[in-house]
Amino acid sequence: MKKPNILLVMTDQHRRDALGCYGNKIVETPHLDWLAAEGTIFSHAYSCTPSCIPARASLLTGMDPWNTGILGSGRGQGRMGGGFTHTLPGELARAGYHTQGVGKMNFHPQRSLNGFHHTILDESDRVETPGFVSDYEEWFHRNKTGDYGIVDHGVGWNSWMSRPYHAPEFLHPVNWTVNESIRFLEKRDPGVPFFLKTSFSRPHSPYDALPYYYELYDRKELPAPFVGEWAHVHDHPQDAAKPDAWRGKRSDEEIRRARVGYYALIHHIDQQIGRLFMTLRKMGEWDNTVIIFTSDHGDMLGDHHLWRKTYAYEGAAHIPLIVRLPKSMRISTAPIVDSPVCLQDIMPTLLEAAGADIPPTVDGSSLLPLIRDENASWREFVHGEHCTCYSEEQEMQYLTDGLWKYIWFPRLGTEQLFRLSSDPGECTDLSVREEYASELQRWRRRLIAILESRGAGLTEGDRLVCQAGKSPHVSPKYKERMDRWQSTASNK
């Protein structure tokens, strides 16, 4: 039987509720809605470490954050360097696939391949390796039509600000990412199946949408942020004053403009994804390609006076996930799956679809039984975490089954409980209500059972231990991996 091609499309900082197929009536995403109509929508997909590097490490390896050794992007946390014994592109390469990564990878060193045969990069102006220049930046300056730079519009890489793109449309990174993906499809080895990861650097800020899309959404009535009855704790004018604020309330008009730019970028991305789909159809590969669409994490967009990511809240942690199988594998598929899933599940899903072995290092599970509606046993909930990034008080551990969510803040020693089935915006914290004490205790015990095995001082008996003033929570797996990598390198 012919092996299927694999296309993994990934956006950056794309929240789950910003797609038409997930119920959003404002944003236009016809191509992704079409993909969903031919495939399966996962309604309760979550990023277990909702920021770029740790989330992408779990997708790359199929491993839980504790086992990748990257629990966040704050103090004591490492980068996505080498030392992984098994990666998704590496296993597919061993199985005979021609593998290519296009766009944002977040590897370290930045030219690391991590199992890909080749990568062509857009790293959003990050220079973490001496002398590194991304392929997109090099191409931009070679092809620009005047004396301007990539972000001469004045909006920073993590800003809440928004404005139309300042350069010609063909120079936008969204277009470049699809152009390079199509170029790979045209020049790949036609004798073997391909694995292509198309990884956009948007709708992550800067919210610099093309004028056409920006003006389109500037004329629309957009949803206002969710603001919980507890959210006053993040209404800090001093923090909000920063151009890259992580919290604080900006004016209603500034919040609206951020959402205009964000929605407009998503519409633009969808249109370019349509070009990629069209290329597959022209090449006759559409019906023999597994296509997965997802994101590394979401974007708060002012919800609860918060911006950016790293939080356990729905805006940051709840992500889109669409899986569309080739025609030959689409015998009986569920249109919607409500089981709680995560990025770790993508690697085993694709390896099973490719007929490749799933390495013992993988913590995730293949989604194929859920897609085939085989009534397979599944996890009851997803566990997520993120160590200190913007502020120690936002370090968190969370659990969710998509209907309930429990959050523990280790540095504060406080908890939150939300009933997502009736409060999807997480506006009412039930942890302070006596009638929900048993539900709160049930979720707390589940978290204790997970954390006590780490032996990291997070638990003591039947209670969680506040971490205020203590050293950062660090997984020993990171040092083990780096020591192994360096030892291997020194022996070559």
User: How many other CB atoms are there within 10 angstroms of residue 138's CB atom?
Assistant: 11
> Residues for the chain: how many in total?
492
Instruction: Please give the angle made by the CA atoms of 141, 146 and 261, to the nearest 5 degrees.
Output: 80
Residue by residue, pLDDT tens for the chain (492 residues) are: 789 999 999 999 999 999 999 999 999 999 999 999 999 999 999 999 999 999 999 999 999 999 999 999 888 888 887 789 999 999 999 999 999 999 999 999 999 999 999 999 999 999 998 999 999 999 999 999 999 999 999 999 999 999 999 999 999 999 999 999 999 999 999 999 999 999 999 999 999 999 999 999 999 999 999 999 999 999 999 999 999 999 999 999 999 999 999 999 999 999 999 999 999 999 999 999 999 999 999 999 999 999 999 999 999 999 999 999 999 998 888 999 999 999 999 999 999 999 999 999 999 999 999 999 888 899 999 999 999 789 888 999 999 999 999 999 999 999 999 999 999 999 999 999 999 999 999 999 999 999 999 999 999 999 999 999 999 999 999 888 888 877 766 665
Q: Where are the alpha helices (DSSP H) in 62-115?
A: 65-68, 88-94
Between CA 35 and CA 280 the distance in angstroms is 13
**Quick one: which of 479, 44, 65 has its CA closest to 310?**
65
Half-sphere exposure of 233 (CA within 13 A, CB side): 9
Helix (H, G, I), strand (E, B) or coil at 303: helix
pTM exceeding 0.75: yes
List the CATH code of the domain at 384-490.
3.30.1120.10
Cβ atoms of 429 and 416 closer than 8 Å = yes
Between CA 108 and CA 56 the distance in angstroms is 12
Q: Please report, for the chain, the start and end positions of each structural domain, with discontinuous segments joined by +.
A: 5-381, 384-490
- The label of the residue with tokens 């936002």 reads 394
List the CATH code of the domain at 5-381.
3.40.720.10
